[in-house]
Structure 1
Amino acid sequence: MLSHLVGAANRADIRRLTALEEENAALTAKVERQQLRLREAITSRDASIRRLGALAAQRAVEQARTATDDEDALAGLRQLVADLQAQLGTEVARRERLERRFAEAAEASRTARLRAEAAEAEARALQWELALLESAGVAESARAQPLLPALRVLYVGGRPGCVEQARDLLYAAGGALLAHDGGRHDHPSLLPGLVGRADQVVFPVDCVSHDAALTVKRLCRQLGKPFVPLRSAGIASFLAAFAAAGAHAPRRFEKDFP
């Protein structure tokens, strides 16, 4: 049964890892193309502004030489200057718009970079958890030393299927799993008693209410119980949390809950 679960989890995590890598590459390429187009457009507009300025100066000199005494020519010159000034104003306005777009693209690039870094971090975590799942499958087939400690663990929140998988794995390691759904059906008043009975408490940060997580952390600190916020509700994160602790003995392994 575990080998089947491990295989399914492996395939799902590999698909997720591949999708993250493809999204990261696409975002980076898109931002680079946008920045290149904006730089080219700004360069072209600057050149147009310089040409218009030079043309206005040249026309003004030429008209001044030939139409000093000609009122009609002078009026034409004034109109030409006015037209050129209007064109210049238009080009300046376009340049300002391009600069704003460039600033927006730079901000989008920064956001994309942060998303890429987050995706890379998640990809590394997925790779680590995949390795743990494979190890768990090998351990079961060879009846080797289990990855999980022989402890009484309280699991708060999560998805029912994953909680049952965790229960089976912990039972195989000689431990036991207590469960509380975080308040969906189980009353919050049950938490103090469950925390008191547990050797260690875990909860997935992506599948538990904020109030339940805060209550668990407060109770664990009051009762001196170690708690582990899991990266996700998947069984791989459950295994990874205990592997990260580095020992079968209970140990505090904290991070801030968002």
Structure 2
Amino acid sequence: MPPLVLPGEGVPVKGMRLKTWQISPHYHCSIIGTCLTTGELRQLLVKLGEPEARAAGDHALHARGVRLAGEEGTAGKLLNKALDRRHDAIIKRMSKLGDADELRRFWREAYDRGDISGAYWALLSHPATDEKLKRDVFGDVHMLSHLVGSASRLDIARLTDLQRTVEEKDEMIARLERRLEKTGSERDEMRREIARLQEAVIQAGAASAAAEAASRRKASAPSEEAPRSGELAQKLGEVREELRRQQARAEEAEANAAELQRENETLERLLSSEDAADEGAGVKVRGAAEGAILYVGGRRSLYDKLRALADVHGVTLLLHDGGMEDSTTLLPAVLAQAETVLFPVDHISHTAAGIIKRACRESGKSYQPLRSSGISSFVAAIGARG
């Protein structure tokens, strides 16, 4: 009679996601290199008490991470927790898929968007992923690693199909309308704040004038009033400082309100252009032959809105967060699929900006720093292409 093997002893339980030690060691190197950043791997090894983790080079860290992937003990479990925590959102989305065909379609969509790291781990650990699909996605990631080091292969562009169904256009317009409504509310609130601050400035000005008048009166009074005059002078200084702060806040609020107004007007123009486009026949895709745009950095919370705005302009948009969650080692490969690169200077790391500039110089591609991560800066940049 064969020995009984309990769940958790290296054998996957049907219907449950796989751990790294339950996945073939053939894939461990690509999982560690693609799905965790060097900083995250170093932090994990320091937590595990590895004596050389803080000073170890990137290759040494990678090699240790690959060995951990095959261990079922505490270290291996912490490694799996780190992978799951980092890619929690995409794991939850992929958990709703039930067969290899659905998983393959999900992978292709993620790959075309440049969302490689999370989708790779979620797919390899998914219980419905068969060996053929594992080999195929491993091949995709393996070839990406070659693209990073070869300028000629970096020229292999991947154009996403820009033709959208009427339902997709309706959803895009709905997202824009929701954003328009939100910016309108924010603008109204900002205007109320400006009015409040202006009233505070007026009151502070009146208090300053009263304090100055009192100070002048005390200055002409007998010498026994000198202590009181000193108190009034101190109070006058405090009032003036408060007036300065209120004026600064009012100016900042007015600048924010102006930015919201510009964003609101931009969204209104986009919605108007969509309405006009709907009067024509079919979906008109503009700029598809011009190639894709890669947007690096910025705020991930705005990515869906940026995609919708790019669709309105007929632009293929690729996204990479500059190393917050997406590995910077894959940035050159994603950049290879784009014609030009945009990045907001207020929301990008120095490392990612350096990679962009160096890769663009080597490949002859253009890049454009944006003033801010706001929607209006993005729209102005892609609008200038048309």
TM-score band w.r.t. shorter chain? 0.5 to 0.7
Between stretches 10-19 and 202-211, larger displacement belongs to 202-211
Rg (Cα) greater in structure: 1
Structure 2: distance between partners of 1:31 and 1:173:
44
| SS of equivalent residue, structure 2 residue 333 | helix
Q: Is the 8 A contact 2:197 2:249 kept in 1?
A: yes
Alpha carbons of 1:167 and 1:34: their partners in 2 closer, same or farther (altered >3 Å)?
closer
| SS of equivalent residue, structure 1 residue 212 | helix
Structure 1: distance between partners of 2:318 and 2:262:
26
Q: Is the 8 A contact 1:156 1:179 kept in 2?
A: yes
Question: What percent identity do the matched residue pairs reach?
Answer: 26
Alpha carbons of 1:47 and 1:24: their partners in 2 closer, same or farther (altered >3 Å)?
same
Q: Does the alignment pair 1:101 with 2:101?
A: no
Q: Does the alignment pair 1:183 with 2:323?
A: yes
CA displacement at 1:39 relative to structure 2: 1.1
| SS of equivalent residue, structure 1 residue 227 | strand
Structure 1: distance between partners of 2:366 and 2:335:
8
Q: Is the 8 A contact 2:287 2:314 kept in 1?
A: yes
Matches within 5 A, 1:64-103: 85=223, 87-103=224-240
Alpha carbons of 1:99 and 1:220: their partners in 2 closer, same or farther (altered >3 Å)?
farther
Structure 2: distance between partners of 1:171 and 1:108:
43
The runs of 5 or more residues in structure 1 that have no matched partner are: 54-84, 249-258
| Corresponding residue for residue 201 of structure 2 | 31
Q: Which residue of the other structure, out of 153, 158, 183, is the alignment partner of 2:293?
A: 153
| Corresponding residue for residue 111 of structure 1 | 248
Q: Which structure dedicates a bigger proportion of its chain to helix?
A: 1
> Which amino acid in structure 1 is aligned with residue 241 of structure 2?
E
Q: Which residue of the other structure, out of 330, 341, 348, is the alignment partner of 1:201?
A: 341
Deviations 1:51-96 (Å, cap 9, x if unpaired)? x32xxxxxxxxxxxxxxxxxxxxxxxxxxxxxxx4x4221221232
CA displacement at 1:106 relative to structure 2: 4.2
Taking structure 1 as the reference length, the TM-score comes to 0.66
Q: Is the 8 A contact 1:155 1:203 kept in 2?
A: yes
CA displacement at 1:218 relative to structure 2: 5.0
Q: Does the alignment pair 1:225 with 2:366?
A: yes
CA displacement at 1:120 relative to structure 2: 4.3
> Which amino acid in structure 1 is aligned with residue 180 of structure 2?
N
Q: Is the 8 A contact 1:167 1:177 kept in 2?
A: yes
Between stretches 185-194 and 142-151, larger displacement belongs to 142-151
Deviations 1:151-207 (Å, cap 9, x if unpaired)? 311122345574345446645765422222221332112222322331122235565
Structure 2: distance between partners of 1:28 and 1:218:
48
Structure 1: distance between partners of 2:285 and 2:337:
22
Alpha carbons of 1:115 and 1:233: their partners in 2 closer, same or farther (altered >3 Å)?
closer
Q: Pairwise CA RMSD of aligned residues?
A: 3.3
Structure 1: distance between partners of 2:238 and 2:203:
13
| SS of equivalent residue, structure 2 residue 356 | helix
| Corresponding residue for residue 132 of structure 1 | 269
> Which amino acid in structure 1 is aligned with residue 287 of structure 2?
P
CA displacement at 1:30 relative to structure 2: 0.5
Taking structure 2 as the reference length, the TM-score comes to 0.47
| SS of equivalent residue, structure 2 residue 323 | coil
Matches within 5 A, 1:14-25: 14-25=184-195
Structure 2: distance between partners of 1:149 and 1:207:
27
Structure 2: distance between partners of 1:172 and 1:126:
15
Structure 1: distance between partners of 2:204 and 2:377:
38
Alpha carbons of 1:166 and 1:104: their partners in 2 closer, same or farther (altered >3 Å)?
closer
Q: Is the 8 A contact 1:155 1:201 kept in 2?
A: yes
The runs of 5 or more residues in structure 2 that have no matched partner are: 1-170
Structure 2: distance between partners of 1:171 and 1:3:
10
| Corresponding residue for residue 178 of structure 2 | 8
Q: Is the 8 A contact 2:215 2:232 kept in 1?
A: yes
